[in-house]
Amino acid sequence: MIKPVGSDTLQPLFVYDTDKHHELRHEAENLPSVTISSQAAGNAVMMGAGYFSPLKGFMNVADAMGAAEKMTLTDGSFFPVPVLCLLDDTDAIKDARRIALRDPNMEGNPVLAVMDIEAIEEVSDEQMAVMTEKVYRTTDGDHPGVAAFNSQGRFAVSGPIQVLHFSYFQDDFPDTFRTAVEIRNEIAERGWKKVVAFQTRNPMHRAHEELCHMAMERLGCDGLVIHMLLGKLKPGDIPAPVRDGAIRKMVELYFPPNSAMVTGYGFDMLYAGPREAVLHAYFRQNMGATHFIIGRDHAGVGDYYGAFDAQTIFQEEVPEGAMEIEIFNADHTAYSKKLNKVVMMCEAPDHTKDDFVLLSGTKVREMLGQGIAPPAEFSRPEVAQILMDYYQSLNG
């Protein structure tokens, strides 16, 4: 199986030993504590689950700046984005060397992790601006990722963490949330050697489904891991339980047995386009995928990124040898009326736009809200039914 990034073995930060876990929980109740941001909580979950292996905890400012500017930490190791724990103030922790990090996304703010503080540093406006520009390629406050990153505090608390909980993800999505450890184990149990991963924050329409089949066939893969984001999205995105139900129905009906796993991970979307594509590839290698599909405008939002920037970044900016996972570059896929099948649009040069079944997201949402199923060439009827039920429930 493919090795994790930068290490021979995966290094999840979740405390699996029952006695040690119980001991730490007890200790945490008496430690100075802070409720961290949703973004920091997502980072802690990803470290606990092994996706960010071999990170040991939250970065200091020098490492965060290195990750932002050249995807390299001060020790020379590779990581594509800053992983910070930013606080508004540090009054609650004063001179403490060991603290509890509390979850902002669960009632009662339970302890998510215990941290050994190595440094507390104030991040300057200039440093925030550099990190924002490098990661998001914009400092526009209307960009949802930029807004979320900059709405956190300016005190960076860094040091190793021990994770005690997977936030609401494990509780709310017990059938879908999986750690990198669990996915690696399941890939091994299924006997898969070549595995392609597909990232989604939306339900999968016919074009996505066929793209996965296409990638599996062309790469000669044994299996596909559909890996959906379960964290915070932007307003208007479809909630995770609805997406989950729609994707499971599609796999059940349109994929051969033992060819696809439906899983999810706990993280807030950054909408950082190219840089987030690199992060996505990073943690897909850690979960055991050998290949990763990156399509047009991967992890983008608005008009901030070029259509294929998330593909070219791997040749132009990622340090050579940083990751072993291979990228399957995909163009926009759509149903061809001429060929009666889904194709990559770049592979049908004799087609005009009118030769494809193309519907905007807005148009699809309107149709679903009115109880009108999109054409079968666009969306499987069983999937459309689940989405129609959801949209009609919104309309009362």
Catalytic residues, by residue number, are: 201-202
Q: What are the start-end ranges of the H helices in 255-379?
A: 273-286, 309-316, 361-369
4 CB-side CA count, 13 A: 21
In which region does residue 302 sit, left (phi positive, over 0), alpha (psi from -120 to 50) or beta (all else)?
left
Question: Which residues have C-beta within 8 Å of that of residue 41, sequence separation ≥ 6?
Answer: 101, 103, 104, 105, 112, 167
Question: Which residues have C-beta within 8 Å of that of residue 30, sequence separation ≥ 6?
Answer: none
- Using CA atoms, how far apart are residues 227 and 229, in angstroms rounded to an integer? 7
User: Does a cis peptide bond (omega within 30 degrees of 0) precede residue 319?
Assistant: no
* Token reading at 86: 């930013």
Q: How far is CA 52 from CA 115, 167, 189, 322, in A?
A: 16, 16, 23, 14
Whose CA is closest to 58, among 156, 144, 153? 156
Burial bucket for residue 369 (CB in 10 Å: 0-12, 13-18, 19+): middle
Whose CA is closest to 269, among 116, 81, 395, 110? 81
The sheet carrying 356-357 orders its strands as 341-344, 333-336, 356-357
Question: Which residues have C-beta within 8 Å of that of residue 20, sequence separation ≥ 6?
Answer: none
DSSP three-state, residue 380: coil
